[in-house]
Chains A and B, each alone.
Chain A
Amino acid sequence: DSGVTQTPKHLITATGQRVTLRCSPRSGDLSVYWYQQSLDQGLQFLIQYYNGEERAKGNILERFSAQQFPDLHSELNLSSLELGDSALYFCASSVAPRGGGNTIYFGEGSWLTVV
């Protein structure tokens, strides 16, 4: 168990809908990352937050947004869903956003299926 908790584990929704994925980082970790894993694109970095502020942005679509709350949990909002958004969404956390041996730990992921 990595200590990173993600809910829901599985989600099936229709095209055009909106969903929210939730992540609780490891105790003491201030930085949260979101990744999308699909069969054809592999692991894609979406966005990173540190202590409530956005720190880095990757290949995140405009239909997607995220935030980190004061209690450090994070939510990833996916709207106007398309079939191609079906993927495994991982949340990860680390103590700090910097390098220097900073290890990132992953949650179990949320399986999103858009039908």
Chain B
Amino acid sequence: AQRVTQPEKLLSVFKGAPVELKCNYSYSGSPELFWYVQYSRQRLQLLLRHISRESIKGFTADLNKGETSFHLKKPFAQEEDSAMYYCALSGRSGAGSYQLTFGKGTKLSVIP
């Protein structure tokens, strides 16, 4: 079974402060991890994925297999970063298929 845990439902930070959105996962194989962002109940947009090791909108995330974590970080928060953030894991669900499992999400609120 695969599971994604985002321990914080809500995270409030001041503009210009560092941001860290936590994500822990449980999966027996080698996981693929993603961060999605959702603005005001619009569609989910892919923010980044661990295999790309890229930085999007100043956000980065590093897969730590030892701690089974994939925390999302940004050094300086901007007001436009206020949104819902979902961590997701793509893992084998059986019969050769893969399933994308989401955490419950963290709402990031950036205070001006």
Contact = CB atoms under 8 A, between A and B. Distances in A.
A12 B11 CA distance: 33
Given A99-B32, A99-B92, A45 B99 contact: yes
Interface of B: 32, 34, 36, 41-46, 49, 51, 86, 90-105
Indicate the size class of the contact surface on chain A.
Answer: 20 to 34
Contact of B97 (A92, A97, A103, A106): A97
Given A42-B102, A42-B105, A43-B102, A106 B94 contact: no
Contact of A33 (B45, B96, B100): B100
Given A103-B46, A103-B49, A45 B100 contact: yes
Contacts of A97: 96-98
Given A43-B105, A50-B97, A99 B90 contact: yes
A48 B97 contact: yes
B98 A102 contact: yes
Closest 10 CB pairs of A and B: A55-B97, A43-B102, A42-B104, A106-B44, A56-B97, A106-B43, A108-B43, A99-B98, A56-B93, A97-B97
B100 A108 contact: no
A102 B101 contact: no
A101 B31 CA distance: 10
Nearest to A6: B43
A109 B43 CA distance: 6
Interface of A: 2, 4, 33, 35, 42-43, 45, 48, 50, 55-56, 58, 88, 90, 92, 97-109
Contacts of A35: 102
Contacts of B91: 99
Contacts of A101: 32, 49, 51
B43 A2 contact: yes
A37 to B, nearest CB: 8
Contacts of A4: 43
A109 B45 CA distance: 12
A106 B46 CA distance: 9
